[in-house]
Structure 1
Amino acid sequence: MTKKIKISEIPEFDAVEYLTDEEEIAAYLTAVLEDNDPALLAAALGDIARARGMNQIAQASGITREALYKALRPGSAPRFDTINRVCAALGVRLIATPMGSARNSV
């Protein structure tokens, strides 16, 4: 007989646990960018910033910790300047590739 599990007993998924190195961070961002959803990108950058330490990323980006939390919360729509500053603080950059390239089909 299979044991029934209540939805309320299932732990909430937190990507932060899996963002342990640059390759995993880059793969996560690449997957998020493929969805073409700015709010999802903001939330993903928030996950990465939490994995790296929000205080550290706030200092490196020149954005207050409170403003960083606000800009990177799920559902937000941060300005490109904010995204660019956070990416620089995280040590990643967004790269454009032609839509028909082999890199986009991976």
Structure 2
Amino acid sequence: MVKISKFDAADYLKTPEAIAAYLTEAFATDDAAYICAALDTIARAKGMTSVAKETGLSRESLYKSFSGSSKPEFDTVRKVINSFGVKLVAEPAESKTA
């Protein structure tokens, strides 16, 4: 019998480039719950304790913020994304009349 393991994207988020690509795809969905899940996955990849130390937030607060049952404040999201070694950028949306 073949044994398989459960896929976890956190296992593949080792570089800022991989993290940025993963977050970009999550933001493209425009789905707040999905974006929170992506932030949680990246935080687990980086280590929740490490993210907590870098942001000045508690681990419990981070777990609660990205559990999907609450909506994190923008300042929390900003601090967490900065701790990942990536930054938020804005770009023009694609024109719908192209």
Shorter-normalised TM-score: what interval? 0.7 to 0.9
CA 18–74 in structure 1, closer or farther in 2 if over 3 Å, else same: farther
Match of 1:41 among 29, 35, 41: 35
Counterpart pick for 2:63 among 38, 62, 69: 69
With structure 2 as the length reference, what TM-score do the two structures score? 0.85
The DSSP-based 3-state class of the residue aligned with 2:87 is: coil
Unaligned residue ranges in structure 2 (runs of 5+): none
Contact 2:26 2:38 in 1 (8 A): yes
Structure 1 residues 1-106: aligned runs within 5 Å: 11-100=5-94
Tell me the alpha carbon deviations over residues 14-48 of structure 1, each in whole angstroms, 9 at most, x when there is no partner: 11011111111111000000001111111111111
- Measure the CA separation in 2 of the matches of 1:89 and 1:19: 14
Which of the two has higher C-alpha Rg?
1
Displacement of 1:94: 1.4
TM-score normalised by L of structure 1:
0.79
Letter in 2 for 1:96: A
Q: CA RMSD in A?
A: 2.1
Aligned length: 95
Separation of aligned partners in 2, 1:99 and 1:66 = 35
Deviations 1:43-82 (A, max 9, x none): 1111111111100100111110111111112454211111
Q: Tell me: CA distance 1:75–1:27, structure 2 relative to 1, closer, same or farther (3 Å).
A: farther
Give the structure, 1 or 2, with the largest relative contact order (CA under 8 Å, sep 6 or more).
Answer: 2
